[in-house]
Amino acid sequence: MADGATHVFSADALLFDNDGVLVDSKAAGEEAWREWAQEYGVEPGPVIAGSHGRRSVETVARHVPAERVEEATARIDALELAGADATRALPGAVELVASIPDAARAVVTSAPRALGLARLEAAGIPVLSVVVTSEDVAAGKPAPDPYLEAASRLGVDIGRCVVFEDSANGIAAALAAGAGVVVGVGASALGRGCDVVVLDLGAVRWTGAGVEVARALTVGDR
């Protein structure tokens, strides 16, 4: 149910998932996975459904023999990187990220570093000093490791961070990490335990001491 109130959350830092939160890479990403599935003789539907918010190596390992995982992961990473220039910023993303001091913001993506940075650049998202990628952690989302790593690099307690996520795996990672506030972005975040869900980042404003969230789709799922 839509909520007309403005909600204020105190925080020292904001941690953003990339795909589906800051940038729209869905069409290109799914096309890359579709092509990959065809090459490896795998049904594309389950591959695509299980890829959101998860590192490519973990998705690949579900569908090919162990001895082919390294090669098959390199292939999907190359296919996705080839389509990165089609990435566009989602509403409100550029403005919100630009308004936050660099010491209080981070991107936490399941993509490899080259792909994550290419998508941010294509979308015109301001350059951040802290970008946690798939290579930076032993376990990817839904494990808490990526968000704990981002908070550690910023020198901020994870309990004083607001996390913005759209996928089930990403939201689970934020909750497991103990994020102070979890803001869901988009309809895919509904009913997954977020503190508040918004349509896009146009509903969010950095106050200097946290965020104001307006036009919430739901409040208090958590």
Please say if 19 is a catalytic residue.
yes
pTM assigned to the model: 0.87
Catalytic residue among 19, 145, 166, 195: 19
Question: Residue 12's pLDDT is what?
Answer: 98
Cβ neighbours for 119, distance < 8 A, ≥ 6 positions apart? 18, 19, 23, 25, 84, 87, 111
Cβ neighbours for 5, distance < 8 A, ≥ 6 positions apart? 214, 216, 219
Residue 115 has pLDDT above 80, yes or no: yes
Least confident window among 35-49, 85-99, 101-115, 120-134: 35-49
Catalytic residue among 17, 77, 166, 195: 17
Question: Residue 2's pLDDT is what?
Answer: 58
Please say if 17 is a catalytic residue.
yes
Half-sphere CA count of 90, side-chain side, radius 13 A: 23
Residue 221 has pLDDT above 90, yes or no: no
